[in-house]
Amino acid sequence: MGWDESLVLWCAVWGVVALVGYGMSLAGVTKAQRTVRLTGRIERVREPRHGGSRKGGISVVVSYSDPVSGQEVTVTNDGERGDTIISCAWEGREIGVSHPRGRPHAYRFSNTPEEPSRGLGWPSFAVFLVYVGLVVLAAVDRGWPWALIGFGGPWAVSGAVHLPGAVRARNRRIERLAAMDSARGRVVAVLKDVSVDDDGHTSTTITPVVSFTTREGTAVTAYCTANLPHPAGAYGRDVTVHYTSADPAEFTLDRAAEHRSEKRQMTFHVLAIVVLVATAVAGAVML
C-alpha cells in the first residue's frame, strides 16, 4: 500500500470514528451525557500533613443532595477519585461532584461545578486527525508547500479569531490583579512526591501548602506551586497572599510576576499568529 492509499485509509477510519461519535452525541448516549453532574459543598477541610503526598488533593468532606432520593449525602475524597484534585479548599466552597448514571459510589470531584457535556471531545479530535491526513495527502500529491498552507492558514485564522477574546480575558485578569485584597498567610506544610520512570530516573515534586484567612473570615488552604522562593524549605514561612474576594481560589504571592506572565502570554499569542501567517504566505509563494 502506497502513501496515497495509506492516507486515504487514515482519513476514512477517523472520519468513521467522528461520525459514530457525533451520532452517539445526538442519541444522548456518550459517556459524558450519561454522567450525573452535581454541585457539592465543602463541609470540612483537613490540613495536609507536612512531608506527606499531594496525591488525592486536599482532604475534604463534601455534602450534596441526591437527585434520586432528595437526601443529603456526605462523602470524602479519600482514595483514588480521578485525575482532578482539590487544590484549594475552604468550608462552604462549592465544587463539582459527578458519577456515572446508576453508580453513585463511583463519584469524582472537580474544583468547580461542571456544566452538562455533549461528549464531543473525541469526535472533534477525530475530525482534527482527518484534517491532518488531508493536509499531508495534499503535500504528498501536490508538493510540500501545501503543508505550509494547510497548517499555517487555518491555525492563523483560528488564532486571529480567538485573539480579541484573549485580549479581553487578559484585561479582566489584570483588573482583578489590581483589585486583589491582601492577607497574611503561612506555609503550613510542604508535600513531597518521588517518582521513578521506566529508565530508573528519579524525580521529586515539591508542593508547598499555604493557609490564609480572607477579610470575610474564610480560612483557605491551598497548594501554592508558583512564586514561592526555595519551596523545599518553606515550611513555617510567613507570606503575603493576594486574593480575589469573590473567589479566594484565585490568589498569588506575587502580583507583579502574574502581570508579567499575562503580558508574555499575549506576546506569545501574537507572535504565534505572525509565524503562522508567514508560514502560509511562504507556502503560497513557493507554489
Q: Which residues pair with 204 in a beta bridge?
A: 194
Round to whole Å and give the CA distance between 5 and 227. 52
Identify the CA nearest to 93 among candidates 67, 121, 119, 60: 60
Contacts of 239 (CB under 8 A, 6+ apart): 184, 185, 186, 187, 210, 224, 228, 253
pTM of this structure: 0.83
To the nearest 10°, report the CA torsion of 272, 273, 274, 275: 50
Alpha-helical (H) ranges within 109-254 are 121-142, 145-178
pLDDT of residue 171: 94
pLDDT of residue 5: 86
Return the number of other C-beta atoms located less than 10 Å from residue 147's C-beta. Answer: 17
The 8-class DSSP code of residue 112 comes to S
Domain ranges of the chain: 35-110, 145-287
Query: How buried is residue 219: exposed, middle or buried, by Cβ count under 10 Å (0-12/13-18/19+)?
Result: middle
Measured at the CA of 169, the angle between CA 167 and CA 171, to 5 degrees, comes to: 70
* Residues of the chain with confidence (pLDDT) below 50: none
Measured at the CA of 243, the angle between CA 240 and CA 245, to 5 degrees, comes to: 135
Tell me if 277 sits within 8 A of 156, measured CB to CB: yes
Round to whole Å and give the CA distance between 18 and 122. 8
Identify the CA nearest to 239 among candidates 207, 205, 209, 206: 209
Q: Which residues pair with 114 in a beta bridge?
A: none
